[in-house]
Amino acid sequence: MLKVASIVGARPQFIKSLPVSIEVRKVCQEVLIHTGQHYDHNMSKIFFEDMGIPEPDYNLEVGSGTHGEQTAQMLTKIEAVLINEKPDIALVYGDTNSTLAGALAASKLHISVAHVEAGLRSFDKRMPEEINRIIADHLSDVLFCPTKTAVDNLRNEGITKGVELVGDVMYDAALLFSGLAEKKSNILQELGLTSKSYLLATIHRSANTDEVENLKALLEAFAESGKTIIFPVHPRTRKVINNAGLHKIIEGTKVRLIDPVGYIDFLALERNAAKILTDSGGVQKEAFFFAIPCITLRDTTEWVETVESGWNVLVHVDKNLILKQIAEFNPEGEPAKLFGDGKAAFYIAQRLTSL
């Protein structure tokens, strides 16, 4: 039986990996490697508990650090696991340092690399994620693309061999868990919220957290909007807020900082929000899936389809533009079906068995 080493390390990858693992384990032997990139309970273990993701066979416990430090540690530890396990294929997801390290380690050991969510481009190399996804794509033997735009991006870079348009595994996960979220989650009651009475915000990109002035502008926009804004705070973001004294900006306002929540609760918060403000690629897509207007706190996006369809708008850190879009951005109708049929994980598993 084909042996697949699946490499994950960050919250979005835990979510993407579950529908794929379900299908892969029907036809292959899977070894699950968690790099430990996200190690806080609310960013990591809670997802395995919440969603029934199989417990990792290896937790490398790399933790935080500079990009160089973190990637180097991952590269060393992933290499050791791959030498020990001798998989036929290394399966990497998305665009994190775990993705880059997994693709590098496997390719140097002459292990085939398959990249889920291949072909995405923001065309902004200031983003570490852009560097990671470009390198991973150029090292990969099989490239699972979520959209036709992704296929076109790869073709423009001369990559045509091994490219597969399968749809988006995040759409698979959203379909799998959104009904469960409505039934099981009590997060709205716990926070004293009613549907469409609040905005949901997430901030975690380094351009918005490492640049204190950018984070300050975003919090000022949230505070001045006068809206109830629920803001589950990434540990790195909270550290910057506390160290820079930015919590004073939102004192006495309707902005509520809460700890990160599990995926089931987060889906419930997304589905019931009036609008979403985010710098996350995954959250942009989930907003689109659920027909929630999305205000993206970046000046580029790898999910251009969501903008072109009218359900997503880019504002970067322009406070006045953010306030304008909070007040006025109200797309109508239903989003187009741009991300496949919800069977991307099945197609991925079937393709792997043909290698």
H helix intervals, 1-66 = 11-27, 45-51
DSSP string, 245-268: TTHHHHTTSSEEEE----HHHHHH
In angstroms, rounded to a whole number, what is the distance separating the alpha carbons of residues 275 and 278?
Answer: 10
SS3 label, residue 295: strand
Residue 76, C-beta contacts closer than 8 angstroms, at least 6 positions apart: none
Sheet with 229-232, edge to edge strand ranges? 255-258, 229-232, 199-202, 275-278, 294-296, 312-314
Residue 68, C-beta contacts closer than 8 angstroms, at least 6 positions apart: none
Q: Any idea which residue has 């699946």 for tokens?
A: 6
DSSP string, 217-231: HHHHHHHHH-S-EEE
195: left (phi over 0), alpha (psi -120 to 50) or beta: beta
Q: Is 204 in the active site?
A: yes
The residue from 38, 115, 204, 234 that is catalytic is 204
In angstroms, rounded to a whole number, what is the distance separating the alpha carbons of residues 59 and 279?
Answer: 28
H/E element, 232: strand 229-232
Q: How many other C-beta atoms are found inside a 10 Å radius of the C-beta of residue 86?
A: 11
Residue 296, C-beta contacts closer than 8 angstroms, at least 6 positions apart: 278, 279, 284, 307, 312, 313, 314, 315
Active site residues per annotation: 204
